[in-house]
């Protein structure tokens, strides 16, 4: 009798635990499914019918653009809907996709503000909302996404400054905010992002000087600040970087002489753009140490002196523009 009672109790406990596990799993699946449904409901135009698969007859992990975890069934880890002509708003319920690591909505027609609830996505590594029509400020809540490696908000209608709180994103490898209407200075804390490889802040209304702290970024491959309202000099050391392949500061109000920094430490440099500034000095012959240089654009400055004869030794040089100096 005791043995039978023991077996019955074990069975009841096993059934109870299983029901809790299944209920919990179902609840989690519903959370992600409902978040995606809210995302769809906020979209008014879907010209290619990419969201037609998002219906009740199909599991949400089979919906187009949705990718789920293998370890955690039903939990959405990636949402990739690039260049689908989608038009509408970004639902605040996107912040409920707590397992999301990748969100790529590049090249659509989303508008309205970027929802601060994205700050709830603490697993997020790649946020690409570029080439849309998002407005308003960059949400300071993004500072909670401590695993973020790529932040790409290029080509939107964002306003305001680059918030101090974003300095907590120490794992960033790409900070791409070009082609918006951002104002204010370039934050000094960007120089503390030791993993940063791409810094793109071009075509904004940023002002003030380029912080000397940016010289600490020794992994930079792209440095693009063109078409702002920057003044002062290019900090010593930014071009003294073996991995840098593109450097652009054209269409600012920068001054001084910075070309001497281009030397043996810049073997990867293929693009050097510094036109329409107030730069002075001579074009040094050491420029030829940048053996991979293909584009040299120094128009409309105050450079003087002879053009180094040994520029001809740069076999890959395709564009050289030195007019109006």
Q: CA 305, CA 288: separation in Å to the nearest integer? A: 17
My answer on whether 244 and 161 are in the same domain is: no
Q: CA 204, CA 34: separation in Å to the nearest integer? A: 37
Which one has a higher pLDDT value, 261 or 320? 320
Residues 6+ apart with CB under 8 A from 20: none
Contact 228, 252 (CB under 8 A): yes
Q: What is the pLDDT of residues 108-157, one digit of tens each?
A: 999 999 999 999 999 999 999 999 999 999 999 999 999 999 999 999 99
Domain that holds residue 174: 35-182
Determine the pLDDT at residue 65: 97
Contact 193, 170 (CB under 8 A): yes
Share of the chain above pLDDT 70, in %: 90
Q: Domain for residue 161, yes or no?
A: yes
Q: Domain for residue 311, yes or no?
A: yes
My answer on whether 168 and 215 are in the same domain is: no
Determine the pLDDT at residue 260: 81
My answer on whether 114 and 82 are in the same domain is: yes
My answer on whether 238 and 313 are in the same domain is: yes
* CATH code for the domain of 275: 3.80.10.10
Determine the pLDDT at residue 22: 36
Contact 37, 58 (CB under 8 A): no
My answer on whether 53 and 104 are in the same domain is: yes
In angstroms, the Cα distances linking 9 to 6, 122, 279 are 5, 41, 84
Residue 240 confidence (pLDDT) above 50:
yes
Binning the chain into helix, strand and coil, the percentages to the nearest 5 are 30, 25, 45
Query: In Å, how far from its chain's centre is CA 304?
Result: 38
For 152, list phi and psi in degrees, rounded to 5: -120, 105
Q: Which helix (H) or strand (E) holds 20?
A: helix 2-41
Share the mean pLDDT of the chain: 91
Q: What is the pLDDT of residues 202-235, one digit of tens each?
A: 999 999 999 999 999 999 999 999 999 999 999 9
The label of the residue with tokens 């400020």 reads: 137
Q: CA 153, CA 87: separation in Å to the nearest integer? A: 17
Residue 27 confidence (pLDDT) above 90:
no
Stretch 300-305: mean pLDDT, rounded? 95
Determine the pLDDT at residue 241: 86
My answer on whether 111 and 232 are in the same domain is: no
Determine the pLDDT at residue 17: 42
Determine the pLDDT at residue 29: 65
Cβ atoms < 10 Å from Cβ of 146: 12
Q: Which one-letter DSSP state was computed for residue 268?
A: T
Q: Measure CA of the first residue to CA of the last residue in the chain; give whole Å.
A: 102
Q: What is the pLDDT of residues 60-113, one digit of tens each?
A: 999 999 999 999 999 999 999 999 999 999 999 999 999 999 999 999 999 999
Which one has a higher pLDDT value, 315 or 223? 223
pLDDT confidence tier of residue 184, bands split at 50, 70 and 90: very high
Q: Which residues pair with 295 in a beta bridge?
A: 271, 319
pLDDT confidence tier of residue 21, bands split at 50, 70 and 90: very low
pLDDT confidence tier of residue 244, bands split at 50, 70 and 90: very high
My answer on whether 231 and 178 are in the same domain is: no
My answer on whether 52 and 153 are in the same domain is: yes
Q: CA 196, CA 154: separation in Å to the nearest integer? A: 17
Q: Domain for residue 189, yes or no?
A: no
Determine the pLDDT at residue 4: 55
Burial of 319 by CB count in 10 Å (0-12 exposed, 13-18 middle, 19+ buried)?
exposed
Determine the pLDDT at residue 75: 97
Residue 272 backbone class (left: φ over 0; alpha: ψ -120 to 50; beta: rest) = beta
Determine the pLDDT at residue 15: 42
* Rg, the chain, Cα only: 26
How many domains does the chain divide into?
2
Q: Domain for residue 13, yes or no?
A: no
């Amino acid at each position: 009798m005791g043995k039978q009672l023991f077996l019955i109790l074990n069975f009841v406990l096993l059934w109870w635990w299983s029901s809790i596990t299944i209920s919990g799993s179902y609840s989690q699946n519903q959370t992600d499914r409902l978040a995606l449904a809210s995302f769809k409901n906020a979209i008014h135009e879907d010209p290619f019918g990419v969201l037609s698969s998002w219906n009740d007859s199909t599991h949400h992990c089979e919906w187009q653009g949705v990718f789920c975890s293998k370890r955690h069934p039903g939990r959405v880890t990636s949402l990739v809907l690039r260049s689908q002509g989608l038009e509408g708003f970004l639902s605040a319920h996107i912040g409920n996709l707590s397992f999301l690591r990748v969100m790529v909505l590049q090249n659509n027609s989303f508008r309205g503000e970027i929802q601060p609830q994205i700050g709830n996505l603490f697993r997020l590594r790649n946020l690409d909302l570029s080439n849309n029509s998002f407005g308003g400020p960059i949400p300071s809540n993004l500072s909670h996404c401590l695993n973020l490696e790529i932040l790409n908000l290029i080509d939107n209608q964002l306003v305001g400054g680059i918030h101090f709180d974003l300095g907590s994103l120490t794992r960033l490898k790409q900070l791409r905010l070009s082609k918006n209407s951002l104002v204010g200075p370039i934050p000094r804390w960007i120089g503390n992002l030791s993993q940063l490889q791409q810094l793109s802040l071009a075509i904004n209304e940023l002002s003030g000087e380029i912080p000397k702290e940016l010289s600490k970024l020794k992994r930079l491959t792209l440095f693009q600040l063109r078409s702002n309202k920057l003044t002062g000099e290019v900090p010593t050391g930014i071009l003294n970087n073996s991995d840098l392949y593109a450097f652009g500061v054209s269409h600012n109000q920068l001054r001084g002489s910075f070309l001497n920094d281009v030397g043996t430490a810049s073997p990867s440099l293929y693009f050097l753009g510094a036109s329409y500034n107030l730069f002075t000095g001579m074009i040094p012959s050491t420029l030829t140490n940048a053996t991979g240089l293909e584009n040299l654009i120094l128009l409309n400055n105050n450079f003087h002196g002879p053009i180094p004869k040994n520029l001809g030794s740069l076999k890959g040089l395709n564009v050289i523009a030195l007019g109006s100096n």
